[in-house]
Structure 1
Amino acid sequence: MAVTLSDEARQYIALFDEETDVAATDCIVDDEYDRVVFVVSPGTMGQAIGPGGKHVKRIEEKLGQDVEVVEGADTPEDFVANALAPAAVYNVTISEDDTTVAYAEVDHDDRGVAIGKDGRNIDLARRLAKRHFDVDEIELT
C-alpha cells in the first residue's frame, strides 16, 4: 500500500537516514503528542535505535520532539504486534467483513502500555495499520 508523506515528513526521513544509516519507510509527525514516529524495514530496528538508543537521542535533540521507532513487517498481524510494542502481544487475528479488524491478544498487565496515556499508543497503532495494511480497527482482547 502506498504511503503519502508530507514535505515535513520527507525532511525528517532524510535526517533519520543521515543519523542512522537506516532508510525509514514512513514518518508520522504527531503534533498532538509532540512526537515523530518512524517506521523502519523489518530487521533494522536495532541499527535504527543505535547502541543505548544514541541515534534516537540525537534525532530527538535535533528535532526537539520525542522520537519513536516502529519496526515494519510483511504481514498485518506482525505489523500490528510491532506497532503495539513494547506491550506483550501474544497473537493477532485479522477479521475481514465490511471492515478489516485486527484483534490483538495483549498480556493483561500490558493493556495500559498498549493503550497508552489518553489512548495515544493504540491510536498510533491504528493509524499506522491503516496506512500500511488498510486495517480499519485494532481491538485488544
Structure 2
Amino acid sequence: MRVTLSADAKRYIRLFAEETDINPLDCLIEGDRVVLLIPAGEMADAIGPDGHTVDRVEEKLGRKIELVENADTPAAFVASALAPAAVRGVTISEQGDRIAYAEVVEADRGIAIGSDGRRIETARKLAQRHYDIDDIKLT
C-alpha cells in the first residue's frame, strides 16, 4: 500500500535519518508527538544507547518521538504497534471488515490502550495504512 506523507512528515523523517542513519518508513504527526515507523531489526539502533539517540532527535524537533517497529506479517505488526504491552497473539478476521483481535495480558491492557487511547489509535492508523486493517480490538 502506498502511504502519502505531508511535508512536515517528510521533514521529520529526513531529520531522523540524518541523525541516526535509519530511514523511517512512515511518520504520523499527532499533536505534540511524532510517531515513526522503523524498519524491522533496526529498533535498537534507532533508540540508541540508553535512549540517547531518541533524546537528541526529540530536542532537535521539539516534540516527543515514539517509535514503532515494522514487521513482516499483519499480526506481528499489530503486536509491535501495541508494544510495550505484552501481546499473546493476534488473529486477523476477514469477515467483511478486516479486524485484528489482539490478545493482551490483562495487566497490560492499559498500556495497549495508552493515555487517552493514543497508543491503540496510533496502532489502528498504522495498521490501516500498511496492512489495510480496518480496526484493532483487544481481547
**TM-score, reference length from structure 1:** 0.97
SS class of match (1:10)? helix
CA RMSD in angstroms comes to 0.6
Query: Which residue is equivalent to 2:138?
Result: 140
- Identity %, equivalent residues: 59
Query: Which residue is equivalent to 2:20?
Result: 20
**TM-score, reference length from structure 2:** 0.98
Q: CA deviation at 1:61?
A: 0.5
SS class of match (2:72)? coil
Query: Which residue is equivalent to 1:3?
Result: 3
SS class of match (1:47)? helix
Q: CA deviation at 1:117?
A: 1.4
SS class of match (2:58)? helix
Structure 1 runs of 4+ with >2 Å offset: none
Letter of the 1:86 partner, please give it.
P
Query: Which residue is equivalent to 1:74?
Result: 72
State yes or no: 1:29 paired with 2:57: no
For structure 2, which runs of at least 5 residues remain unmatched after alignment? none
Q: CA deviation at 1:47?
A: 0.6
Question: How far apart, in 2, do the equivalents of 1:63 and 1:51 lie?
Answer: 19
Question: How many residues of Structure 1 are paired with residues of Structure 2 in the alignment?
Answer: 139
Letter of the 2:100 partner, please give it.
A
